[in-house]
Structure 1
Amino acid sequence: MPFTIRHRVLRVLAALAFAACALPSLAQTVLRVSAIPDEAPTELQRKFTPLGKYLEAELGMPVSFVAVSDYAGVVEALGAKRLDLVWLGGFTFVQAKMRTGGTAIPLVQRAEDATFTSRFITADPAIKTLADLKGKSFAFGAPSSTSGHLMPRYFMGKAGLVVDKDLKSIAFSGAHDATVAFVQAGRADAGVLNASVWDKLVEAGKVDTAKVRVFNVTPPYFDYNWTVRGDLDPALVKKLREAFLKLDPAKPAHKEILDLQRASKFIPTSAENYVGIEAAGKAAGLLD
């Protein structure tokens, strides 16, 4: 092959190789975001709308919220690269880390998520302690919920309750607000949900506090975070982290976003924060 032809062929091949390397960044034209369905779909959308508009402005690209019907679906969609950014609980982050071979990156958490708690609630005046749950019906949230199942179950065990034997029956409501509805309607003698949703429902007058009350609070643990898939463009990951960390409650538009997220501010997080959650999941037999 003459030198000039060979030279041209090599240049074409080099150009094709460069284009192939550039494809991932070129393909990222929309940021696909979702969240574990720990509340009603309409509430998740309401909470996300101003945050989505803010991220669009910060990133300079469209942001689309993708509703997913269950916790496992969010983890699977992130692992299958159908989602780019997801709001996860501590346990679902551990599941996502395992599903992605350790590549999922936890970006930020609310300051409140470093000392998160769950509230045990009841309308039964005879229930005053966790020991009083023996022989009673009980409602958790979703099976993969950190604050609505895993950590409360873990602390119930620490208190001496054998959950699958000591309780009369166990139900999974599917979401924190649904757990309150279960207990308030008498469908369960007691239940558990995360402290943030309980406070929000009480503030909104959606709980009859003359009937339903908190009788126990768990010790604190790490919980929610915003996680990205590991092969997202590093420059985009950096912009995302910076966008969350820039949210300032002194600015009215930012305060609206933070209030809907029930956050005083966002802070950096890391996978190491969720080692305890992973250990609790394994101890409860919920992780292989």
Structure 2
Amino acid sequence: MLKKMGLPIALMITALMVVLAGCGQKANNVSAGGNGGNNEAGTAADTKWPDVLRIGNLPMEDGEASRNADQFAKDLGEYLDIKVETFEGEDYNMMIEAMRSEKIDITTYGPFGYIIAAERSGAKLLAAMNNGPGTEGTSVIIVPKDSPAQTIADLKGKNFLFADPASTTGHLYPRAAIMKAVGIANEEIETYFSNVSFSGGHDKSLLAIANGDADGAATCSQCIKMIADAGLIKEDDVRVIGESDPIAGGGALAYRGDLPADLVEKIREFALAYGEKNPEYFKALGVAGFFPAEDSDFDGVREVAKLLEMSPEEMLE
């Protein structure tokens, strides 16, 4: 069974969590807008807005990224005329469970985190966080710059890091890429390497590789430059030796299905316009902004999950 690695570095930068929690009531007095998804929110009886919105994110090493998250919360609060508070989570599993137990209402998941949340927590799609249609990313397998390894097969018997159990680019897709590259079954991954661990995030994995603390790791293709731009590593500290298939969908801005419909549409309206108005916010995350999306955009992720033949419980354990 995979074990979680306790590296003393902040959790991954790429997964910004946007959270709403209802406290009290606010009468709706705005009309619905936006067209970023095909999910229905709430019911006709859902006419009250919360007085307080809690917007959360995973801890970030990069101070600029943290400031941008605070600015997003401030801007959304002003747009909706609702008090906004921030909420800090720990990992994808916590956010999925928090939505299931109705402790949070909106968050940004990775693609795999989203399909688990849709199954477990009734999450529905608001928009996708990526670089726009036709700009699918990939996962990459990386090694320290001085490593003798040239292919994934050269890492046999070495120690290997995935990012987070529910990470699409840091676990799901690279796991499938490893299986394909060396011709092994999913259950053989743990014995193919001498040790397999979760670092806790893309930034942790990259820092471990840059510092020579691990032989190989999986991360998102854009994460290397993003973490380097944050000053945490140099791009040439790591070297890519493998790559996954393209990953459709991107990060998913998702909501709990019983939120008031007009509130959902106003948040979607705000999110879809935010990249153009505040490009620096998304620059820190390595993407261009939120874009219209459909739940079916994530079917490729569901297909890879089936290939791995692992339940959500197994992937998150």
Where on the TM-score scale, by shorter chain, does this alignment land: which range?
A: 0.7 to 0.9
Which among 231, 237, 254 is matched to residue 205 of structure 1? Answer: 231
Deviation, 1:57, is 1.7
2:156 pairs with 1:137: no
The equivalent residue for 1:263 is: 287
1:218-275 superposed Cα distances (whole Å, 9 cap, x missing partner): 22102311111100000000001111112253x4xx2233323433232111211112
Shift of 1:186: 2.4
Tell me by how many angstroms 1:63 deviates: 2.3
CA distance in 2, matches of 1:148, 1:38: 17
Matches within 5 A, 1:107-186: 107-112=126-131, 115-123=136-144, 124-162=146-184, 163-186=189-212
The question of 1:104 aligning with 2:130 is answered no
Equivalent residue of 1:174, what SS? coil
Q: Which runs of 5+ in 1 are unaligned?
A: 1-20
Task: Establish whether residue 225 from structure 1 lines up as the match of residue 252 from structure 2.
Answer: yes
Out of 271, 275, 281, the position equivalent to 2:299 is 275
Code of the aligned partner of 1:80: S
1:78 aligns with 2:69: no
- Structure having the higher helix fraction is 1
Please report how far the alpha carbon of residue 135 of structure 1 lies from its aligned counterpart in structure 2 after TM superposition.
1.7
Residue by residue over 1:21-66, the C-alpha shift from the partner in whole angstroms, topping out at 9 and shown as x without a partner, is 999543611223334x485596764341111112112211122221
Number of residue pairs the alignment of both structures matches:
262
The alignment-based identity, stated in percent, is 28
Show structure 2 runs of 5+ residues with no match.
1-42, 313-317
Instruction: For residue 141 of structure 1, report the CA deviation from its aligned partner.
Output: 0.6
Task: Evaluate the alpha carbon distance shift between residue 74 and residue 221 of structure 1 in structure 2; reply closer, same or farther with a 3 A threshold.
Answer: same
Contact 2:62 2:230 in 1 (8 A): no
Aligned partner of residue 310 in structure 2, secondary structure: coil
Q: Which has the higher contact order (CA 8 A, sep 6+)?
A: 2
In 2, Cα distance between equivalents of 1:263 and 1:190? 25
How far 1:161 sits from its partner (Å)?
A: 4.6
Provide closer, same or farther for how the CA distance between residues 210 and 238 of structure 1 changes in structure 2, counting only shifts above 3 A: closer
Distance in 2, Cα, partners of 1:39 & 1:137: 25
For residues 34 and 281 of structure 1, do their structure 2 counterparts lie closer, same or farther at Cα, with a shift above 3 Å needed?
A: farther
TM-score by length of structure 2 reads 0.75
Q: Secondary structure at the match of 1:128?
A: coil
Does 2:273 match 1:246? yes
RMSD: 2.5
**Structure 2 residue identity aligned to 1:193:** T
Q: Retained in 1: the 8 A contact 2:140–2:219?
A: yes
- Three-state SS of the structure 2 residue aligned to 1:81 is coil
Q: CA deviation at 1:197?
A: 2.5
Q: TM-score, normalised by structure 1?
A: 0.82
